[in-house]
Every structure is written in structure tokens, then in C-alpha cells.
Amino acid sequence: MRLKPSGWPLLRYQLRQKGVADEITEKVISDFAGRYDEIDVARKLAASRRPRYKGLEPLKLKRRLYDYLRRRGFSQEAILQAIE
């Protein structure tokens, strides 16, 4: 999460693909969730990505940021709050 930040849904998927039991996955996520603010991380990623889209019209900019954050596994509500 420190090197390649992502959202909880992607983390769950990746752990499931590696064969980690669901109970362990949920325990790790719940323990880690208190120290990791998904919305804040999504905001930072969107802010760092924004210069690449300089000059785009606002709707297209929001759509590209939304798509980028969605691919990184962030929840829809975290993405919407981050790009506002």
C-alpha cells in the first residue's frame, strides 16, 4: 500500500487470487483501515495525476481521473469525493 496505493476492493481481490482466506483478508483490512484513509490517498493520487491532463475540459478531466482511480481499485464513493 505504501509503494503502490490502491483501494480495498483491489486489495481483497489480489489477496483472494493469492489464496489468502477471506477471514484473514478481512481481519488485515479492518486492522489496517484505521491507519489508511482511502479518500485521502485517492485525493493524493488524483492530485499527482492531474498535471498530465492539463488543458483538458473539466468533464473529460474528471472522467480520466475517475477511470484512473477505478483501475487502482478505489471505491466509487472515495473516487467521487477525491475528484471533487
What pLDDT was estimated at residue 48? Answer: 92
Cell (9 digits) for 41: 490517498
What pLDDT was estimated at residue 4? Answer: 83
The whole-number average pLDDT for the span 15-42 is 87
Q: What sign has the CA pseudo-torsion 3, 9, 10, 11?
A: positive
User: Is there a contact between 83 and 62 (Cβ–Cβ < 8 Å)?
Assistant: yes
What pLDDT was estimated at residue 36? Answer: 79
**Quick check: 31 pLDDT over 90?**
no
The whole-number average pLDDT for the span 51-69 is 93
Query: What is the rounded average pLDDT for all residues in the chain?
Result: 89
Q: What DSSP state is assigned to residue 53?
A: G
